[in-house]
Structure 1
Amino acid sequence: MLTTAVCVIFALLAGALAPGCREGPDKLVFGFVLTGDECWVESAAAPLADGLSAELGVTVEPFAFGSSAELLQGLRAGQVDIALLNPFAYVAARETGSVRVLLRCVRDGKDWWRSGIIALADGGPRTLEEVRGRAFAFVDPSSPSGYLFPLAHLLRSGLDPERDLGEVVFTGSQEEVVRAVLEGRVAAGVCREGARRSVYAEMRDVFKRVTVIAYTPPVPNRSVAVRAALEPDLVERIKQALLAVTAGGKGREAWKVMSGGCDGFVEAEDQDYDVIRETADILELDMEILAGCADRPDGRSGP
């Protein structure tokens, strides 16, 4: 009786239940950025949320945001409890103390992605230094894998595209960068690792004719983060529920759709995202602007 009375007093004074008397939430909001039509929510987010609700014994409500900027606002306002974030968005949220990272997505056996600088295997440049003064292809000025991370890597390596490269072209797609190199329109170009596979059907000798002369540093895939104010025991339960629900069956298939092909998780730590912070510093760009760039379809596995 005394314990109950003390708890009630603290609740009245603090406007919330005192430690040891606090009940768990009756609803958790799982926020994500909508990258397709509304049918995508029903086919993936809803089944995943249902599985999490069953595991946790708490209603998990999926909520689709139109952009990472909107999702970040929801996190900062305490309206989102669990979030699927691109790496820039995670760092932006972390800077304000809104979240803690929980898990990082695995896709094709990797929890990271990278871009490659490609050139012709026969007669093309062999090093970044040999690219100096020659025509170069990027994908799009807002593409993380086709411009932003490669640009930071070039600058880090002592090559300023405006000063040190010849003609710079933007092809509009990852695959078109490969074609531009193959056709000799540029001496080198940059695209996400795996772009050569995308043109293999039309160019069976692409792996023989086009080689990678440099890679960007690995970039973390999308991550699941939780609101920083959640109790540690609830955070652990959320992590275990995600692992259980996505291990197989409908939950696994739903997660693959929702996350852009990811089929597993690894534990994540904040320092894993230092490459994101370094890239933003080199490019002198706001983290939330970069988060918006990573909402692009070519960033579904990361940016």
Structure 2
Amino acid sequence: MNRRTLLAALPIVAMPGLALAQARDPRRLRVALLPDENASTLIQNAQPLKAHLERVLSREIELVVTTDYSSMIEAMRFGRIEVAYFGPFSYVLAKSRAPGIEPFAVGIERGSPTYQSVIVATADGPVKALGDVRGRPFGFGDQASTSSHLIPRALLLTRAQLKGGDDYRPVHLGTHDAVARAVQNGQVPAGALSKAILDVLFERGTVDRAKVVEITLSDPIPNYPMVMQGNLADPLKAAIRDAFLNLRDPAVLGAFRVQGFAPTTDAAYDILRETARVLELDLGRMRG
């Protein structure tokens, strides 16, 4: 069999890199939103973002909300999305599987590129302090979530010497809003989520302030990064970067719960890799 015949006989699935290489300057960009809330709500709130990107990039924009963090990581890994708004830890997991992806912008809140995790409890429930979590179920979001899993898990370990599985029962509920509702309804006596998301849920009336109490806040966490495929054409990468760094429209920024974006690099997320090491997590084996 000569070389030309051999190449023709190879199945397409055996050459994923070829498809990616030919899509360096696509006319349609798939932009993934972190699935930390209800998908329809995320898509609806991001319509101003879609219009903004279509205008400044002169390309068709498809908004994507995957079923969970793991599927979003895999979509980025295999080139099924070009741009993604990752959680900090889900980005670290994605980077461990797809070294070529590039973080380029980070959300700014109250003048800082950081946010916080909050541990909450049912207002009339048995948990009044971190130590009260011992022997009880505790609500986390997705396993790859920063503020709804990694950071609160570290808080329970370092501040209350509570190890998941030994001292309390981890219950993964998927999204931040699911954690807040489960705590509100007493399905779990305590749980953790992003403080920014909790505030939005209070403002919307999705969660009753009278039924959920805040137990403790984490130290500042590097905020959610915008990430792009590293194999995109350089002019397109520059245009995408500028589209976010120059963004000033509150209607568009509202989809991200931030006041603006600033440049960032991979090194900004080393603190999360260190946290994972303290928790003895194997990034290579974590679901995602």
Q: Which has the larger radius of gyration?
A: 1
**Alignment partner, residue 38 of structure 1:** 40
Equivalent residues, number: 239
Deviation string, structure 1 residues 24-76 (Cα, Å, up to 9, x no partner): 432222122443243642x3334322321221222222222222222222212
- SS of equivalent to 1:65: coil
2:266 to 263, 270, 291: 270
User: Structure 2: which 5+ runs fail to align?
Assistant: 1-17, 121-128, 172-177
CA contact (8 A) 2:149 2:192 kept: yes
Change (3 A) 1:146 1:91: closer
**Alignment partner, residue 11 of structure 1:** none
**Alignment partner, residue 97 of structure 1:** 99
CA contact (8 A) 2:179 2:192 kept: no
User: Structure 1: which 5+ runs fail to align?
Assistant: 1-14, 119-127, 181-185, 293-303
Change (3 A) 1:67 1:146: closer
Change (3 A) 1:228 1:38: same
The residue type equivalent to 2:251 in the other structure is E
CA contact (8 A) 1:89 1:287 kept: no
Query: What is the deviation of 1:273?
Result: 0.8
- SS of equivalent to 1:240: helix
Deviation string, structure 1 residues 95-147 (Cα, Å, up to 9, x no partner): 121411011112344322234689xxxxxxxxx9xx8xx53478524475466
CA contact (8 A) 2:244 2:261 kept: no
Change (3 A) 1:175 1:192: farther
Query: What is the deviation of 1:229?
Result: 0.9
* Percent identity of equivalent pairs: 23
The residue type equivalent to 2:271 in the other structure is V
The residue type equivalent to 2:228 in the other structure is V
Deviates more, 1:216-225 or 1:136-145: 136-145
Distance 1:87 1:288 in 2: 16
Distance 1:23 1:116 in 2: 40
**Alignment partner, residue 229 of structure 1:** 231
**Alignment partner, residue 256 of structure 1:** 254
Query: What is the deviation of 1:262?
Result: 2.0
Change (3 A) 1:289 1:89: farther
2:115 is aligned with 1:113: yes
Query: What is the deviation of 1:160?
Result: 4.3
- SS of equivalent to 2:139: coil
Query: What is the deviation of 1:177?
Result: 8.5
Residues 175-254 of structure 1 mapped to structure 2, 5 A cutoff: 202=210, 216-244=218-246, 246-248=247-249, 252-254=250-252
Deviation string, structure 1 residues 2-38 (Cα, Å, up to 9, x no partner): xxxxxxxxxxxxx89x9xxx98432222122443243
1:135 to 124, 132, 137: 132
- SS of equivalent to 2:75: helix
**Alignment partner, residue 87 of structure 1:** 88
The residue type equivalent to 1:225 in the other structure is V
**Alignment partner, residue 71 of structure 1:** 72
CA contact (8 A) 1:98 1:227 kept: yes
TM value normalised by structure 2? 0.62
TM value normalised by structure 1? 0.59
Deviation string, structure 1 residues 267-287 (Cα, Å, up to 9, x no partner): 111111112212222223354
- SS of equivalent to 2:112: coil
CA contact (8 A) 1:91 1:276 kept: yes
CA contact (8 A) 1:88 1:287 kept: no
Deviates more, 1:278-287 or 1:266-275: 278-287
Deviates more, 1:59-68 or 1:154-163: 154-163
- SS of equivalent to 1:75: helix
Change (3 A) 1:173 1:108: farther
CA contact (8 A) 2:164 2:170 kept: no
Change (3 A) 1:284 1:202: same
CA contact (8 A) 1:91 1:277 kept: yes
CA contact (8 A) 1:26 1:58 kept: yes
Change (3 A) 1:78 1:39: same
Note the aligned Cα RMSD (angstroms). Answer: 4.6
CA contact (8 A) 1:136 1:168 kept: no
Query: What is the deviation of 1:290?
Result: 7.0
Distance 1:276 1:139 in 2: 21
**Alignment partner, residue 56 of structure 1:** 57
Change (3 A) 1:175 1:77: closer
CA contact (8 A) 1:104 1:265 kept: yes
- SS of equivalent to 2:33: strand
